[in-house]
A and B are shown apart, each in its own frame.
Chain A
Amino acid sequence: MAERVILCIGTKKGLFVAEAAKGRRRFEMRGPFGSGVEVYAALIDRRGSPRIYASSCNAFFGMKILRSNDLGRKFKETKSAPAFPENDGRAVANIWSLETGKTKKELWCGVEPAALFRSNDYGNTWEMILGISNHDHARQWHPGNGGLCMHTILRDGNRVHLGISTGGHYLSEDGGQTFAAANEGIGAGFVPDPYPEFGQCVHKIAGHPDVPGRLYMQNHGGWEERPGIGVLRSDDHGHTWYSIAKGLPSDFGFPIIVHPHDPDTVFVMPLDPMTRTCPDAAPAVWRSENGGSSWKRLAKGFPRKETFFTVLRDGMDIDDLKKPALYFGTTTGQLWMGRDGGEEWTCLFDALPPINCVKVAVV
């Protein structure tokens, strides 16, 4: 079967799946799945026979995990979803991240309140990973506006990077047994100490498998008195971080994405920190092709004014075709595609429910 581009769009009203041939000329939509229920996390697992997973964050009846074995034509709930042990005292309020593990059957899942779970059977049963979920700091983390969420899980061999809002960046170097706060250089504008040991409002972390020591971070910036802390880079596996925000119109934003074929190319969407919409109400993605030393504004195809949407932390992704396209979903229900690494933008869908997350894969 010819390769297809599969888009998973997690919205306030369920999961939509869009599919196109590699030319990406026309996407066909199906869904919503988990109808009427918020989806904050999706995963297209290409290992072996492709599977799609999505969180179904049901405000009425609790958290569920949806799984499809046929590229999103049908979904079924897995036998169980992550849940805290009975005597823990916490209850899962949301599921924010789903990532692949070491084996085809293994999945990792980050939840709210911030904790990490692992499944070894395609999501049917889950165990809590104690090294971070019961970390000494865990009861000192505080929720940000989106809740106390573990939104980023990046695996690199025995290293595991976690992003927590608001908890900061935590790093394991023993496969997830133990974790330590690794926040040197990551600032916070909402506490007296500008560089606390932990408690930062990290928005998203991204990396590239070819250069695992280098990471990029969209942190909660937009602080007049602490400029530049919003867009960061690490060259030592996340132990220390430094600003790469110079040249951007704002260092506030949510998603951060790395080009699949070039670890030097990174994308952000700067937002005004008060309205959380693009500066001057004119949407733009910004791209650096030199690891954050300089930035270029990409806006061809977007409205030039009077546009007030937000793109959330998992609302942007990039495919891995030879000339990759970016995709982002907005809180106003638009799904945009930017061909040639964001050089030219097209609105694929104009009236979806508010979009929480977008994931793409070529299968």
Chain B
Amino acid sequence: MTVSIYIASTLRTYVRESRAELTSSAATVQEALDQLKREHASLYRSVCDETGAVRRHVHLFVNDDFIHDRAGLETQLAPGDVLAIMPAVSGG
């Protein structure tokens, strides 16, 4: 099965060829992050801190749902899903 990982433009500098989309066979959001850690270390470091926590100003969505409205990092991914990595709205 394949899911897409959408990379917001401000983070594409950390992906080879500044790609906007990666593919993954992860079954959960956490598995997708683990894959990023292995295959795209600079991108992963920009999304998660060294404790593994998703950075405060980064939001993850599965399709249109904020992951905290589903099962957080354990949210299941199904074929065709899009996991979007977005900067949070912060400030005024």
| Chain A residues within CB distance 8 Å of chain B | 58-62, 80-81, 83-86, 88-92
Q: How many whole Å from B17's CB to the nearest CB in chain A? A: 17
Contact between A60 and B10, CB atoms less than 8 A apart: yes
User: Which residues from B are CB-within-8-Å of A84?
Assistant: 50-51
* B53 within 8 Å of A (CB atoms): yes
B79 contacts partner chain A, Cβ-Cβ < 8 Å? no
Of all chain A residues, which has the CB nearest B49?
Answer: A91
Q: Please determine whether A85 and B50 come into contact, CB atoms closer than 8 angstroms.
A: yes
B49-79 with Cβ < 8 A to chain A: 49-53, 55-58
Measured in the bound complex, the distance between the Cα atoms of B49 and A86 in whole Å is 9
Within 8 A of A (CB), among B15-65: 45-47, 49-53, 55-58
Q: A89 and B51 in contact (CB under 8 A), knowing A60-B10, A60-B57, A80-B45?
A: yes
CB-based nearest A residue for B47: A61
- The prevalent SS among residues of B at the interface is loop
- When distances are taken between beta carbons in the complex, the residues of chain A under 8 Å from B90 are 59-60
Q: Are B46's CB and A61's CB within 8 A?
A: yes
B49 pairs with A61, CB closer than 8 A: no
Pair B50/A60 contact, Cβ less than 8 Å: no
Contact B45 A62 (CB under 8 A): yes
A60, B53: Cβ atoms under 8 Å? no
A233: shortest Cβ distance to chain B, in Å? 39
Q: Which residues of A sit under 8 angstroms from B50, Cβ to Cβ?
A: 83-86, 88, 90-92
Closest to B50 in A: A83
Q: Which of A61, A85, A89 contacts B55 (CB 8 A)?
A: A61
- Give Cα distance in the complex from A92 to B55, angstroms: 11
Residues of B in contact (CB 8 Å), total 17
Closest to B48 in A: A62
When distances are taken between beta carbons in the complex, the residues of chain A under 8 Å from B51 are: 84, 86, 88-91
* Chain B residues within CB distance 8 Å of chain A: 10-11, 45-47, 49-53, 55-58, 87-88, 90
**What are the 3 A-B residue pairs with the smallest beta carbon separation, nearest first?**
A61-B46, A91-B49, A60-B57
Identify A61's interface contact among B11, B52, B53, CB under 8 A: B11
**CB-CB nearest in chain B for A59:** B57
Complex A-B: 26 CB contacts under 8 Å: A58-B46, A59-B57, A60-B57, A60-B87, A60-B88, A61-B10, A61-B11, A61-B46, A61-B58, A62-B45, A62-B49, A81-B45, A83-B45, A83-B50, A84-B50, A84-B51, A85-B50, A86-B50, A86-B51, A86-B52, A88-B50, A90-B51, A91-B49, A91-B53, A92-B49, A92-B50
Closest to B88 in A: A60
C-alpha spacing A83/B48, complex, angstroms: 12
Q: Hey, which chain A residues are within 8 Å of B10, CB to CB?
A: 60-61
* A25 CB, nearest partner CB in chain B, Å: 38
Minimal Cβ-Cβ distance residue in A for B91: A59
Residues of A near B88 (CB, < 8 A) are: 60
Q: Which residues of A are found within 8 Å of B87, using beta-carbon distances?
A: 60-61
Q: Which chain A residues border B56 with CB–CB below 8 Å?
A: 59
Measured in the bound complex, the distance between the Cα atoms of B50 and A90 in whole Å is 8
Q: How far is the CA of A89 from the CA of B11 in the complex (A)?
A: 25
Q: How far is the CA of A81 from the CA of B87 in the complex (A)?
A: 20
Query: Could you say which residues of chain B place their CB within 8 Å of the CB of A91?
Result: 49-51, 53
**A residues less than 8 Å from B45 (CB atoms):** 62, 80-81, 83
